[in-house]
Structure 1
Amino acid sequence: MTARPARRSAGLLLFRRTGQGLEVLLGHMGGPLWAKKDAGAWTVPKGEYEPREPAWEAARREFREELGLPPPDGEAVPLGEVVQRNGKIVTAWAVEADLDPAAIDPGTFTMEWPPRSGRRQRFPELDRVAWFALDRARQVIVTAQAAFLDRLAEHSG
């Protein structure tokens, strides 16, 4: 029996400098399972990719798919990889850029909802995005992804 390869995602973590310090742009996961959750429900805009696709290209493609906007140009700061509780390996880069959260036009996914109803409904991949100071971002981001915030702070410090 052969083991299934780990699922991989790649994403871009936008950051900006304000009078209060660094802020990062996170997306709140869409769909009914996350609707009433805050802590652990925010993520780097990212998505899955196949092993033959370069992670950097996947990160840029997924940014466009998740937010409906072109990925920003600028220096890409590699933030490395983390392994989430579900086993998914996430690779991220930070890019300094500003973006108006009201400008997003999120991609969608379809799932059966309510469960076992036979009805399929469409939901946004990310139901909203927002800028967070690093301390607040650590409180709401998917636990494993907090390492990206620490690495960004080290790089920008």
Structure 2
Amino acid sequence: MPRLSSGILLYRRDPELQVLLGHMGGPFWARKDEHAWSIPKGEHDQDEDAEAAARREFAEETGHPAPADLLPLGVVRGSKVLTVWAAEGDLDPDAVVSNTFELEWPPRSGRVQEFPEIDRAAWLDLDTARTKLVKGQLPFLDRLVTALA
């Protein structure tokens, strides 16, 4: 059974079309920028509704509730089956407060540390977003443009 993940791509149109992305937290991503950003999303069980999971994950990773109106952007299949919705809104990226996860770091040290799932967020124009977003999520940018056309 493939792993399931759902998320919400927040966008705004002023001053131009921009998307809110989060830089992935933790030591593996600390020194990476290109293709190290993500749509706020997370895994869920087969029995959890994908939209409900997307709303929950958005709130957990941003510290803010998901917008009421969602626009479906479909599914991308890769290492996970990722379902994404888009929502128009505006959020101060400096006000993003993510939940955390624990990881033994450094490996085999016996020391468990806590890291944010998203260590920072930013509004990015689409050209910049294409260089920052993890490659498996790139189709959602094109789908957003198509959906808003």
Fold match, TM over 0.5?
A: yes
TM-score scaled by structure 2? Answer: 0.97
TM superposition score normalised by structure 1: 0.92
- Residue 73 of structure 2 aligns with which residue? 79
Query: Aligned-residue CA RMSD in angstroms?
Result: 0.9
The counterpart of 1:14, out of the listed 10, 16, 22, is 10
Q: Deviations over 1:80-125 (max 9, x none)?
A: 11123xx111110000000001111110000000011011000000
In structure 2, distance between residues paired with 1:140 and 1:102: 18
Q: Which runs of 5+ in 1 are unaligned?
A: none
For residues 10 and 21 of structure 2, the distance between their equivalents in structure 1, rounded to whole angstroms, comes to: 8
What are the equivalent positions in structure 2 for 1:33-112 lying under 5 Å apart? 33-74=28-69, 76-84=70-78, 87-112=79-104
Q: 2:119 aligns with which of 112, 118, 127?
A: 127
Following TM superposition, the consecutive aligned residue runs of length 4 or more in structure 1 with deviations greater than 6 angstroms are none
Provide structure 2 residue ranges, at least 5 long, that are not aligned to the other structure: none
Question: CA–CA distance in 2 between the matches of 1:96 and 1:68?
Answer: 17
Aligned residues: 149
